[in-house]
Amino acid sequence: MTTTRAEAEGLDATDPLRDWRDLFFVPDPDTIYVDGNSLGRMPVEALAAADVTIREGWGTGLVTSWDDWIEVSRSIGDTIASELVGARAGEVIVSDSTSVNLYKLASAATSSVMTGGRSVIVLDREDFPTDRYILQGLAAASDMELRYVDSNAVLGPQPHDIAEVLSKDVALVVLSHVHYRSGALAQMAEITRLSHEAGALVLWDLSHSVGAIPIALNDCDVDVAVGCTYKYLNGGPGAPAFLYIREDLQAKLQQPIWGWFGHRDQFTFANAYEPALGIESFLVGTPPILSMKVAQVGIEMIAECGLRQLRAKSAAMSDFAIQLADECLSDLGFEVATPRDAGARGSHVSLKHDDAYRISVALKLYARVIPDFREPNIIRLGLPPIYTRYADVYEAITRIASTVKAGQHLGLTADRARVT
């Protein structure tokens, strides 16, 4: 063990982002929260946004507040487009959950008008469950078949893995930009290019990358994408998700859920459904305004902080975590299960251990460290750069080491809790 807490504190002292942490609610500074990739911390200003929305918007304005609220899905979408994902205004809209948006886009991209007879959806066998389930459900209800990509568990799907499964019957490729388990960052530009060359559309899930790393959807010529706002965007539990459709595809894709918010002329209450002309055609029904107004706070904070700075700190901080893990944890049965090249990973570091589940429980019970556990043997340390300190990384890793050395996990049950 050579790295010291003083070194971590030194890195914090010169961190250009160090003051951003003060804008978040941190009630117990001795609890080390390294699960912001699952649920981001609460911006203090979220309380005021909720209060204003409830008191003034709902309480006082009542239904007249809709004059303002009706624009919110689109205006937050425009912020995400221009500040966070490298897209144009009008290409992103906030609505529904990531799961539902994935369904809407995958369904639209595989409708008969789009596929020209192609019948295969390519997906990652190890992708986040909801992504796989949504596509399984879509295939079960249509003529599409699924083709799974197998890849290295740490590095995730590489361009050559995708090239191997592409053929002229592939209509759509669905992949996560950053892998939820390993943290591997996929090569978006190259994989998108290869898929297009084979005649397929590509849908990227940005849930674990948006807010942590710069994304260039337009530059990569991405067709469609979805993303989550309660992870690195700190939008709050269950905050509505977003979806992106490249401008030239908007008139071609028709979503499967025909709701009144997607209607061209919503308030004429016409008999027949006619889709809106732009990205609004992918809205469905009344949006959750309270959640949306709260999520806007976190989204605007990340936009203001700036992704170049955030990415630089995330890369340096995850390097620091890996260095510490090598020093303190490699003799205790742990293995780093995240790409070692900072350019090939997102903003979390995964540690593999045979007893990962019980260790993750012991950390919460006895060490005041909150990571998360992912089946079958992974502890994830989420390191959102906007509020995580190098000292937190130091504490997380050294407390993991002392918990395991003391055998504090050994008396616990390996039966899984309802939420892991």
Ligand X SMILES: *Cc1c(COP(=O)(O)O)cnc(C)c1O
Site for ligand X in 333-362 (CB under 6 A): none
Active-site residue, from 231, 345, 358, 374: 231
- The number of beta carbons lying within 10 Å of the beta carbon of residue 158 is 18
Site for ligand X in 119-178 (CB under 6 A): 128, 130-131, 176
The site for ligand X, by CB under 6 A, has a size of 13
Query: Which candidate, 415, 408, 420, places its Cα nearest to that of 375?
Result: 420
Active-site residue, from 24, 33, 103, 128: 128
- Smallest gap from Cβ 73 to ligand X, in A, equals 16
Of 84-92, 95-103, 146-154, 278-286, the window that binds ligand X (rule: CB under 6 A) is 95-103
Catalytic residue list contains 124? no
Q: Going residue by residue from 42 to 81, which x/- string records binding to ligand X, judged by CB under 6 A?
A: ----------------------------------------
Q: Out of 41, 118, 208, 348, point to the residue binding ligand X (CB under 6 A).
A: 208
Distance CA 332, CA 326 (A): 10
Of 160-168, 190-198, 205-213, 253-261, the window that binds ligand X (rule: CB under 6 A) is 205-213
Active-site residue, from 74, 181, 374, 380: 380
Residue 350 per-residue DSSP state: E
- Smallest gap from Cβ 71 to ligand X, in A, equals 23
Of 65-73, 91-99, 275-283, 392-400, the window that binds ligand X (rule: CB under 6 A) is 91-99
Please, which contacts does 72-77 make with residues 24 or more away whose CB atoms are closer than 8 Å? 72/287, 72/289, 72/292, 72/293, 72/296, 73/240, 73/261, 73/280, 73/283, 73/287, 73/292, 74/279, 74/280, 76/242, 76/292, 76/295, 76/296, 76/299, 77/242, 77/279
Please state whether the peptide bond connecting residue 159 to the residue before it is cis, i.e. omega within 30 degrees of 0: no
Catalytic residue list contains 33? no
Nearer to ligand X, 102 or 356 (CB): 102
| Contact between 205 and ligand X per CB under 6 A | yes
Residue ranges of alpha helices (H) inside 21-71 are 45-52, 66-69
| Contact between 207 and ligand X per CB under 6 A | yes
Site for ligand X in 167-196 (CB under 6 A): 176, 180
| Contact between 228 and ligand X per CB under 6 A | yes
| Contact between 242 and ligand X per CB under 6 A | no
| Contact between 380 and ligand X per CB under 6 A | no
Site for ligand X in 299-338 (CB under 6 A): none
Query: Which candidate, 277, 256, 247, places its Cα nearest to that of 111?
Result: 256
Catalytic residue list contains 205? yes
- Strand, helix or coil at 94? strand
Distance CA 281, CA 275 (A): 5
Nearer to ligand X, 128 or 261 (CB): 128
Distance CA 98, CA 244 (A): 11
Please name the residue that has the structure tokens 């043997």. 377
Instruction: Write out the residues near ligand X by the rule CB under 6 A.
Output: 97-99, 128, 130-131, 176, 180, 205, 207-208, 228, 241
Residues annotated as part of the active site? 128, 205, 230-231, 380
